[in-house]
């Protein structure tokens, strides 16, 4: 005899328990619109809203939503890093990443972050509701183009010798956080103050980042951050 | 009460703007369109006080729709919305007769402030626009706009 939860998953009758969603986007107009789009569905509620990645992590820990809908590009802490942190403490929470642009690397980074869905903002009207439904039913949601890219990447990774380009996933969580702050124009001293660490520690992290990513200047780091959607152009 | 028509090809953006309008008793959402052609038709039918119009739409874009609407209905004010900051779009916005240029990344309070400025017969440029471009455009705007 199956348990109630499995019956609910299989049944076409929706669960009486509301689906609790956290919406995170730094743009008020977009966030309000996402809220309207999602709450139009019976049984779905927005349990919290966040304007920064850091706020999203704090609110996710507080409210323990079923689903997080998160913009990739947000100030303070970007969406990818916020997703990693949320997934670490709330592995059962489904995470959907919203993005303006499609890129192969971004899709890989989204999957590496623990998110299980990727929706372009231009397609949100059509895809976001479907993505939430998929995650609510323990499925993933990727467009055909993203799925093809992931499959090709899996094949390449399993080929005999494949040199790996520098990737944000090779950085520690702290290092990824510092990449964003440096790319936003903060000095090592300002990074130290923002994170509550010593200047020496901030500079050590900075040196490690540059070495790991094979970068030689701040301008290269900024270009890297833009390319990997750590910051917006 | 100021009647506002919303034009954007994305339904969730229109919903977001509508939610912001609903938060203020000064403004009344009177209709919506998802493309420039429909915007032109609805502006003639509904005669809104202000149109909040997205610049980037498939088919007829917001700039061209604004030009047509303003030529046919000079009493209707237009607040153009854009996702990316661009000096070129800023200049074009006022050349086609818009009274305001707002970036979608602005807060909900800024959207309401922009609408209030248009109601007060003032022009509005998003604080996030390049200051040099904004100053240049303001110098060139005719008094009648």
ipTM of the complex: 0.84
Output the 3-class SS for chain B: CEEEEEECCCHHHHHHHHHHHHCCCCEEEEEEECCHHHHHHHHHHHCCCEEEEECCCCCCCHHHHHHHHHHHCCCCEEEEEECCCCHHHHHHHHHCCCCEEEECCCCHHHHHHHHHHHHCCCCEECCCCCHHHHHHHHHHCCCCC
Residue A32: what pLDDT? Answer: 93
Is the CB of residue A130 less than 8 Å away from at least one CB of chain B? no
> To probe the interface with A, which of B13, B17, B128 has the most A CB atoms within 10 Å?
B13
Q: Is B17 in contact with A33 (Cβ distance < 8 A)?
A: yes
Is the CB of residue B10 less than 8 Å away from at least one CB of chain A? yes
When the pLDDT of each residue in chain B is averaged and rounded to a whole number, the result is 92
Give Cα separations from A49 to A43, A59, B40 (angstroms). Answer: 18, 8, 35
More confident call, B9 vs B142: B9
pLDDT bucket at A51, cuts 50 / 70 / 90: very high
Domain A18-153 identical in fold to domain A168-227: no
Q: Is A36 in contact with B105 (Cβ distance < 8 A)?
A: no
Residue B42: what pLDDT? Answer: 96
For chain B, the first-to-last Cα distance in angstroms comes to 22
Residue A220: what pLDDT? Answer: 84
- CATH code given to domain A18-153: 3.40.50.2300
pLDDT bucket at B73, cuts 50 / 70 / 90: very high
- On the question of pLDDT at B54 being above 50, the answer is yes
pLDDT bucket at A158, cuts 50 / 70 / 90: low
In this predicted model, what pLDDT tens digit does every residue of A78-123 receive, in sequence order? 999 999 999 999 999 999 999 887 777 788 888 888 899 989 888 8
- On the question of pLDDT at B45 being above 90, the answer is yes
Q: Show residues of chain A in contact with B83, CB under 8 Å.
A: 100
Residues A9-29, mean pLDDT to the nearest whole number: 78
What share of chain B in percent tops pLDDT 70?
A: 97
Contact A63, A48 (CB under 8 A): yes
Residue A90: what pLDDT? Answer: 96
- Please tell me the distance from the alpha carbon of residue A88 to that of residue A67, in angstroms, as a whole number: 14
Contact B63, B131 (CB under 8 A): no
Residue A233: what pLDDT? Answer: 62
Q: How far is A33 from chain B (nearest CA, A)?
A: 3
Mapped onto helix, strand or coil, the DSSP state of residue A103 is: coil
Is the CB of residue A127 less than 8 Å away from at least one CB of chain B? no
Other residues' Cβ atoms within 10 Å of the Cβ of residue A214: 10
For chain A, the first-to-last Cα distance in angstroms comes to 55
Q: Show residues of chain A in contact with B82, CB under 8 Å.
A: none
Residue A7: what pLDDT? Answer: 47
> To probe the interface with B, which of A29, A33, A52 has the most B CB atoms within 10 Å?
A29
Q: Is A29 in contact with B104 (Cβ distance < 8 A)?
A: yes
**Nearest residue of chain A to residue B18 (CA atoms):** A33
Residue A211: what pLDDT? Answer: 87
Q: Is A32 in contact with B108 (Cβ distance < 8 A)?
A: yes
Which 13-72 residues of chain B touch chain A by CB within 8 A? 13-20
Is the CB of residue A121 less than 8 Å away from at least one CB of chain B? yes
When the pLDDT of each residue in chain A is averaged and rounded to a whole number, the result is 83
pLDDT bucket at B64, cuts 50 / 70 / 90: very high
Closest-CA residue to A190 (of A180, A72, A56): A180
Q: Is A36 in contact with B83 (Cβ distance < 8 A)?
A: no
More confident call, A19 vs A233: A19
Domain ranges of chain A: 18-153, 168-227
The fold for domain A168-227 equals Arc Repressor Mutant, subunit A (1.10.10)
Among the partner-chain residues A26, A32, A100, the one whose CB lies closest to the CB of B16 is A32
Q: How far is A99 from chain B (nearest CA, A)?
A: 13
Residue B137: what pLDDT? Answer: 87
**Token pair for A163:** 């040199």
- On the question of pLDDT at A232 being above 70, the answer is no
Domains, chain B, ordered by start = 2-136 (3.40.50.2300)
- On the question of pLDDT at B78 being above 60, the answer is yes
Q: Show residues of chain A in contact with B16, CB under 8 Å.
A: 28-36
- On the question of pLDDT at A12 being above 80, the answer is no
Q: Is A35 in contact with B19 (Cβ distance < 8 A)?
A: yes
Is the CB of residue A36 less than 8 Å away from at least one CB of chain B? yes
- On the question of pLDDT at A40 being above 50, the answer is yes
Is the CB of residue B105 less than 8 Å away from at least one CB of chain A? yes
Contact A29, B104 (CB under 8 A): yes
Mapped onto helix, strand or coil, the DSSP state of residue A14 is: coil
Other residues' Cβ atoms within 10 Å of the Cβ of residue A42: 8
- On the question of pLDDT at A160 being above 90, the answer is no
Residue A8: what pLDDT? Answer: 47
Residue A11: what pLDDT? Answer: 47
Is the CB of residue A176 less than 8 Å away from at least one CB of chain B? no
Among the partner-chain residues B12, B15, B107, the one whose CB lies closest to the CB of A28 is B107
Q: Show residues of chain B in contact with A100, CB under 8 Å.
A: 83
Is the CB of residue A21 less than 8 Å away from at least one CB of chain B? no
More confident call, A5 vs A151: A151
């Amino acid at each position: 005899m199956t348990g109630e939860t499995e019956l609910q998953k299989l049944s076409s009758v929706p669960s009486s328990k509301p689906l609790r969603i956290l919406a995170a986007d730094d743009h008020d107009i977009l966030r309000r619109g996402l809220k309207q789009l999602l709450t139009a569905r019976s049984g779905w509620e927005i349990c919290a809203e966040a304007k920064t990645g850091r706020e999203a992590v704090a609110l996710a820990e507080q409210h323990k939503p079923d689903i997080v809908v998160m913009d990739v590009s947000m100030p303070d802490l970007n969406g990818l890093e916020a997703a990693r942190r949320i997934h670490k403490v709330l592995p059962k929470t489904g995470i959907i990443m919203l993005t303006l642009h499609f890129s192969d690397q971004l899709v890989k980074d989204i999957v590496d972050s623990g998110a299980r869905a990727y929706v372009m903002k231009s397609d949100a009207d059509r895809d976001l509701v479907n993505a939430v439904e998929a995650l609510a039913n323990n499925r993933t949601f990727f467009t055909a183009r993203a799925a093809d890219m992931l499959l090709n990447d899996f094949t390449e990774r399993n080929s005999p010798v494949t040199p790996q380009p520098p990737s944000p996933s090779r950085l520690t969580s702290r290092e990824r956080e510092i990449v964003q702050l440096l790319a936003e124009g903060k000095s090592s001293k300002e990074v130290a103050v923002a994170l509550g660490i010593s200047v020496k520690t901030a500079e050590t992290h900075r040196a490690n980042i540059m070495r790991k990513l094979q970068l030689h200047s701040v301008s290269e780091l900024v270009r890297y951050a833009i390319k990997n959607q750590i910051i917006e152009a | 009460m100021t009647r506002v028509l919303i034009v954007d090809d994305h339904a969730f953006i229109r919903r977001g703007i509508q939610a912001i309008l609903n938060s203020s008793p000064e403004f009344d959402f009177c209709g919506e369109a998802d493309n420039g052609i429909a915007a032109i038709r609805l502006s003639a039918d509904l005669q809104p006080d202000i149109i909040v119009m997205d610049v980037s739409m498939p088919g007829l874009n917001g700039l061209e729709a604004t030009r047509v609407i303003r030529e046919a209905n000079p009493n209707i004010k237009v607040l153009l919305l854009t996702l990316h900051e661009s000096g070129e779009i800023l200049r074009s916005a006022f050349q086609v007769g818009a009274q305001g240029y707002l970036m979608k990344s602005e807060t909900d309070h800024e959207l309401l402030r922009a609408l209030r400025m248009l109601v007060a017969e003032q022009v509005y440029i998003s604080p996030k626009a390049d200051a040099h471009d904004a100053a240049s455009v303001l110098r060139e705007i005719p008094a009648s706009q």
